[in-house]
Chains A and B, each alone.
Chain A
């Protein structure tokens, strides 16, 4: 790709929207995932007795929280795919067609 094409793509409004949209979505979800996971790990590491508090019958707080981390990992990737499929692909196709 030469410099002229680069500049041309850079100025493409679709490219700017794609770059911003994907950046925002990706980093937001990544930070949420990091916060959830390291929140869980830090609780396990530094507050084991809190995680051992019974919440339903003998089941302790750690189990629903752990399950929550697993479900949220799947849910967050699902959110990313749904958002990306509905907006990124159209923009990408237009950019590729206009700058081929």
Chain B
């Protein structure tokens, strides 16, 4: 049970790298450092360019709505394909074969649901943040506070996992000390977001997505060429090389408990539809049509990418797993399980490709943390400060100032948390972020657009119940209760809480809306009509061209 969890979780936070610290210090990887230096120079140049075009709040939060559907599609892919999914999923396929596929698929299938039920409506209703959509007809104070709190929780857990992963990865790849690595990531992300806002963040994500797709495509093609472009040969070689042999072609090495498997499936699918940094990307395009186009491109790129990681993982089983250059005599991968993709890059492309892929992995983390920080800063400045604390009575200039201060504060906080959690097991954190997003954000967002009787009480109760139950069940699950807190047996036996906490979120919305119907609740139901028409047509929507 706990072993399965450790494996499942190891994917999401790149923890295997922790063991690497015990080994001899890695040689400095000059190709990687040079390529990463080029990436940093390019992105800082873009940040300078973007800073001259980021003057209004709309430009800061939403790039002025001037991103095209195709660009936004790639940026979404860049925001979403984390180093954890590149290194983690290929590592998971390497360790347990078929079961790695479940993560790839789960991360993808939330996208069609966003497209069919939410994307166009979000674009028509939203302005800068997720809470704009709910506070359109509900009472802004409580609803925005709830939404900002759950967004910040999602951002915090996601951010910690990325920072710790970044520190360990960079330590390993570049031979830099953990603390330096965390500070570099934090400082670069503060620079991108503070000066370049959404425009710089978007282009960092676009460039990173392009590089990642390019590198992964090349690796997959070279790996397939090694097997004469025959999947059957590749699978046969993998079965021969893997310690578990034929079992890697059947589900069950990783996911043994069906309820856990199902619960993880729920978290991955619906969590995507509640991630604040992802939802925010829909406000950067002009209209509903562009929002639709972006989801199509995002889905295509992300789906293609997960097919590549799968090929990379399977090819590595025989190409990396049976080469003493990459694997110790004990069978352990040099540098930890998450190095599988990096080793495969070396196997098919030598030092140059290894350097390139290492640099891309670093760039990937930077792009993801920038998106997260921007979403967190928006929750603080736009939701909490401007609309809750000042009740909308503030100027655009002050609000932007607050958002920049919030960005710097969040960046420093991320660095401190990254340092504090260096030795901690953070494996459960991305899973928890997805579970909170699915349980606290998704039900409120969906019902606000589809169920007239949802009122402020319901939105707050549902959000709170989803948030508290997702966090509490995770604490009681084997991932924390046993592995972090050291208790003998977990109180909540499943790895992911979403199968239970998401229905609790919906139940909270329903019960909260039924009890205490007062005049305010009826007025909120009355405003549903206007919201509905705007969500369908964009009539009265926040225009992109607010110059």
The residue in chain A whose Cβ has the minimal distance to the Cβ of B301 is: A74
Distance to closest chain A CB from B244 (angstroms): 12
How many of chain A's residues have a CB under 8 angstroms from any CB in B?
57
Contacts A63-B101, A69-B105, A92-B537; A27 near B255 (Cβ below 8 A): no
Are B265 and A41 closer than 8 Å at their CB atoms?
yes
Q: How long is the Cα–Cα vector from A45 to B101 in the complex, in angstroms?
A: 13
**Interface residue B235 (Cβ < 8 Å from any Cβ of A):** yes
Contacts A1-B533, A9-B539, A62-B98; A30 near B113 (Cβ below 8 A): yes
* Interface range on chain B (Cβ under 8 Å from partner): 35 or more
* Partner-binding segment picked from B149-157, B245-253, B468-476: B245-253
Give the residue of A6, A42, A71, A81 whose beta carbon is less than 8 angstroms from that of B262.
A42
B474-522 residues at the A interface, CB under 8 angstroms: none
Residues 85-100 of chain A, each 1 if its beta carbon lies under 8 Å from chain B, else 0: 1000100100110011
Give the residue of B120, B236, B261, B536 whose beta carbon is less than 8 angstroms from that of A44.
B261
A63 neighbours in B (Cβ, 8 Å): 98, 101, 249
Distance to closest chain B CB from A19 (angstroms): 6
Mostly, the A contact residues are: helix
B77-128 residues at the A interface, CB under 8 angstroms: 98-99, 101-102, 104-106, 108-109, 111-113, 115-117, 120
Q: How long is the Cα–Cα vector from A69 to B295 in the complex, in angstroms?
A: 17
**Interface residue B16 (Cβ < 8 Å from any Cβ of A):** no
Contacts A30-B117, A48-B250; A41 near B262 (Cβ below 8 A): yes
The residue in chain B whose Cβ has the minimal distance to the Cβ of A9 is: B533
Are B235 and A57 closer than 8 Å at their CB atoms?
yes
* Partner-binding segment picked from B197-205, B285-293, B323-331: B285-293
The residue in chain A whose Cβ has the minimal distance to the Cβ of B530 is: A1
Residues 55-96 of chain A, each 1 if its beta carbon lies under 8 Å from chain B, else 0: 011111011001101110110111011001100010010011
Contacts A15-B536, A73-B299, A77-B111; A44 near B530 (Cβ below 8 A): no
**Interface residue A52 (Cβ < 8 Å from any Cβ of B):** yes
The residue in chain B whose Cβ has the minimal distance to the Cβ of A41 is: B265
B249-302 residues at the A interface, CB under 8 angstroms: 249-252, 255, 258-259, 261-262, 265, 269, 288-289, 292-293, 295-296, 299-300
The residue in chain A whose Cβ has the minimal distance to the Cβ of B235 is: A58
Are A51 and B537 closer than 8 Å at their CB atoms?
no
Distance to closest chain B CB from A61 (angstroms): 10
A-B residue pairs in contact (CB < 8 Å), sample of 16: A1-B530, A1-B533, A9-B537, A22-B120, A27-B116, A37-B265, A38-B265, A51-B251, A63-B249, A70-B303, A73-B111, A74-B299, A78-B296, A80-B115, A85-B289, A96-B539
- B-contacting residues of A (Cβ < 8 Å)? 1, 3, 5-6, 9-10, 15, 18-19, 22, 25-27, 29-30, 33-34, 37-38, 40-42, 44-46, 48-49, 51-52, 54, 56-60, 62-63, 66-67, 69-71, 73-74, 76-78, 80-81, 84-85, 89, 92, 95-96, 99-100
